[in-house]
Homo-oligomer: A and B are copies of this chain.
């Protein structure tokens, strides 16, 4: 299948395809902003949008039943770093021509007002660069090329050399620079291995890991577990990103670690060191007013954010029955006169574990959860095939149930429970019944003494 993308998008994609060894068979086709591509019955036009990454586009898709506009991630930055704003004139003219359906970014639909400009960071950055006595370390998303450009300019202005930490960021830095999206003068950067030769007050370290990801460069830097650079007293560290909901605790852990090692830290709660790349309610309203869609589907967000965006669309005049809030897997059937929910499609996560794709599902997860919560107790014994008499065992083996040095009483009692069952059922000769009875007796003994329910597995061998 051909894959269409803008120059930078394809540039960032290629190393990943190469890594997975599928670059050569990939059919990548570059689209420039303003270009349109005919794809079967669809004519797809790339419309410039401003986001935290340059060369971003929304899509206007002419279909046989009408035009569908997809904003992609966007914001309305009045002073975009690369001079390329979201092309509201084009969205407006699309609205004039008629938009059947708008799909728009809901990430910040809960936030009133305007998202501000990358330019708003200039003053806080100047204060930090103007005062930092030693190294400055800035963490942000590896894809936030605008922010990286901004920081490169700060480095030039304050005469600091730049070292880039972390593989993904190094890769993006290199690609964006090669393609001309990141302007970095010759001689500004210094390889990370040589960063220690630069005086602290002349060095800016750029890293990824702004979400406190356990293996990321910033996390390892903060915990002094990075092979090349580690936090030290006097560093000023800027986490120039907002924690994605759910990551707060990891980010705070990183901040705590940085403080413990004597760094000064600027982060979402302290210092204005981040602006969002996603439109807030004023901007979302502007997009709705420009395109004046017949139908509206909020996309990109949790249910609560989709709902808030739907509410906004109603305020903007889209009638209630033309706004559809859908979640992953809910199909929507659209024609010029109607919008309806279609069938549910099976979607969701496919677990990849080691080399396995999709071989970890309900049973494995249930068992792992059980093992994680209560451990396992295996009861092995051997019965004589002819007489049914006990030839070996029962032996108990536990993992994750109780600390080994405290386990002897419990194990002795559980063993006794198993022995009692074996004696009682000596004549039955039904292995299934025996195993079940051992399972129940051992489980009961453990439950009575500990109120725990380890997975109990009797293994009966006939010899």
Contacts and interface: CB of A to CB of B under 8 A. Distances in A.
A4 interface: no
B355 A461 contact: no
A304 interface: yes
B402 A452 contact: no
Contacts of A270: 110, 308
Nearest to A373: B368
Residue among A378, A450, A455, A461 with most chain B CB within 10 A: A461
Interface string A304-316: 1001100000000
28 contacts: A111-B269, A245-B249, A246-B249, A252-B304, A256-B304, A260-B303, A265-B304, A269-B304, A353-B450, A353-B452, A355-B449, A356-B402, A356-B450, A356-B451, A359-B406, A360-B402, A363-B403, A364-B403, A368-B371, A368-B373, A369-B372, A371-B372, A371-B375, A376-B399, A380-B459, A393-B461, A397-B459, A459-B459
Interface in A342-363: 353-356, 359-363
A446 B397 CA distance: 22
A462 interface: yes
A402 B406 CA distance: 32
A403 B463 contact: no
A6 B380 CA distance: 58
A404 B366 CA distance: 12
B382 A461 contact: yes
A462 B392 contact: yes
A452 B356 contact: yes
Nearest to A258: B304
Contacts of A356: 402, 450-452
Q: Tell me how many chains of this kind the complex includes.
A: 2
B463 A391 contact: yes
Contacts of A125: none
B246 A395 contact: no
A408 to B, nearest CB: 12
A321 interface: no
Interface string A242-282: 00011011001001100110000100011000000000000
A302 interface: yes
Contacts of A256: 302-304
B378 A457 contact: yes
A303 B267 CA distance: 14
**Lowest 8 A-B CB distances belong to which pairs?**
A354-B451, A372-B372, A371-B371, A367-B400, A256-B303, A246-B249, A368-B400, A354-B452
B248 A361 contact: no
Given A359-B402, A360-B403, A367-B399, 13 more contacts: A252-B304, A259-B307, A356-B451, A364-B375, A364-B402, A371-B376, A371-B399, A371-B400, A376-B376, A382-B461, A391-B463, A392-B461, A393-B461
Nearest to A385: B392
A449 B359 CA distance: 13
